[in-house]
Chain A
Amino acid sequence: SQQGEEDPQALSIQEGENATMNCSYKTSINNLQWYRQNSGRGLVHLILIRSNEREKHSGRLRVTLDTSKKSSSLLITASRAADTASYFCATDRRNAGNMLTFGGGTRLMVKP
């Protein structure tokens, strides 16, 4: 079963705008990771945030984590057409091994 829920399920923006995607989860976690998937194939790792971290940056990506609300957000600034993809959050649950539990994903379309 999926631990996380993501919203929105789909997001369409213009190039240059910012895109924000949200993820909620249900159980205590060690880490939360964000992945990108193009064309329904392999997942590309974007960023990992530990449960004791609140915010992390990587290039145009900013991830926040609120463990009290069991939620995370991914912000992509100054979006580009090449950012068009599906984005998934994934958690590894505390005391349950390192396997990942994925959210349903957000399909992002960036129009040129």
Chain B
Amino acid sequence: GAGVSQSPSNKVTEKGKDVELRCDPISGHTALYWYRQSLGQGLEFLIYFQGNSAPDKSGLPSDRFSAERTGGSVSTLTIQRTQQEDSAVYLCASSLFQGLTDTQYFGPGTRLTVL
């Protein structure tokens, strides 16, 4: 079946602009995660949605970052007033949330470049 998809695959924006990144998880997966990968910080967790529970936002680096998940499926990560340090690959993952054994499946990522 289809895997996790993300759009756009590449995004170039100017400093100060807002951007929206989209993630379509695997159908039936109840958990959805956002991570980002940058040269300086490696791979780091941003935010996590599980079913109808309140999201775990503990990884968001600043209040310029927010995410929502509509209808328990598609998720959008929004970065307001982008800064150059936001340049990174943003990766989305989804899982069935099988309790303690939970394999996360990743999308191809969105490469964000802030000029």
Contacts and interface: CB of A to CB of B under 8 A. Distances in A.
A and B assemble together: yes
Interface of A: 1-2, 30-31, 33, 35, 40-45, 48, 50, 88, 90, 92, 97-105
B2 interface: no
B31 A40 contact: no
A56 to B, nearest CB: 12
Nearest to A48: B103
Interface residues of B, number: 29
B104 A45 contact: yes
10 contacts: A2-B42, A2-B43, A42-B107, A43-B106, A48-B101, A98-B31, A98-B48, A98-B50, A100-B35, A105-B43
Interface in B73-115: 89, 91, 93, 95, 97, 100-109, 111
B44 interface: yes
Given A98-B97, A99-B48, 8 more contacts: A30-B101, A33-B103, A41-B111, A43-B93, A90-B43, A98-B31, A99-B33, A102-B42
A105 B106 contact: no
B59 interface: yes
Contact of B48 (A35, A50, A90, A97): A97
